Amino acid sequence: MHSDLLEHARALLAGEQDPIANAANVAALIYNTLPDVNWAGFYFLKGGELVLGPFQGKPACVRIAVGKGVCGTAVAQRKTQLVPDVHAFPGHIACDSASESEVVVPLFRGADIIGVLDLDSPRLNRFTEADARAMEEIAKIYVEASGIEG
């Protein structure tokens, strides 16, 4: 499942460098491939805060401060957040009330973080360590393909 998804992501982004187009296609690929995902998309760091990028799912909060919510925590801690129950995560920001679990992966450009890739599920405990590793790999594929590597 994951190797197919990674393969598909590489093929989808091959030969295209536009960061918005690539983010849009990655969000659509994940959303339409992984079961039980109600939101998949990107936030990009702009002027010191996370700003909503291309996504699939319900409309979401546009700006998230670094250190706030699951997304802002991923940036502040510089590491993937695997959240089995969002209601147990202090400061979780509820965009879609259906969301029960979440995984957020930082997008690294060299040592810098340029944003995050965020997935929500309406099912508790939906995401595994293997899902988190696969999303980290997709984040890498995205940054490299989009010509934004430091």
Measure the CA–CA gap between 70 and 94, rounded to whole angstroms: 10
SS3 43: strand
SS3 115: strand
Measure the CA–CA gap between 113 and 85, rounded to whole angstroms: 25
Measure the CA–CA gap between 36 and 33, rounded to whole angstroms: 10
x-marked contacts with ligand SME along 69-88 as a string, rule CB under 6 A: xxx-----------------
- Give 29 or 70: the residue with its C-beta nearer to ligand SME: 70
95 binds ligand SME (CB under 6 A): yes
User: What's the one-letter identity of residue 100?
Assistant: E
Least separation, in Å, of the C-beta of 86 and ligand SME? 6
Least separation, in Å, of the C-beta of 40 and ligand SME? 9
39 binds ligand SME (CB under 6 A): yes
107 binds ligand SME (CB under 6 A): no
Segments in 34-146 forming alpha helices (H): 69-77, 129-145
SS3 67: coil
Least separation, in Å, of the C-beta of 64 and ligand SME? 5
Q: Which stretch binds ligand SME (CB under 6 A): 6-14, 59-67, 107-115, 125-133?
A: 59-67
- Give 10 or 122: the residue with its C-beta nearer to ligand SME: 122
Tell me phi and psi for residue 29, to 5 degrees. Answer: -65, -50
Which contiguous run of DSSP H or E holds residue 150?
Answer: none
113 binds ligand SME (CB under 6 A): no
Binding site for ligand SME (CB under 6 A): 39, 60-61, 64, 69-71, 92-93, 95, 99, 102, 118, 120
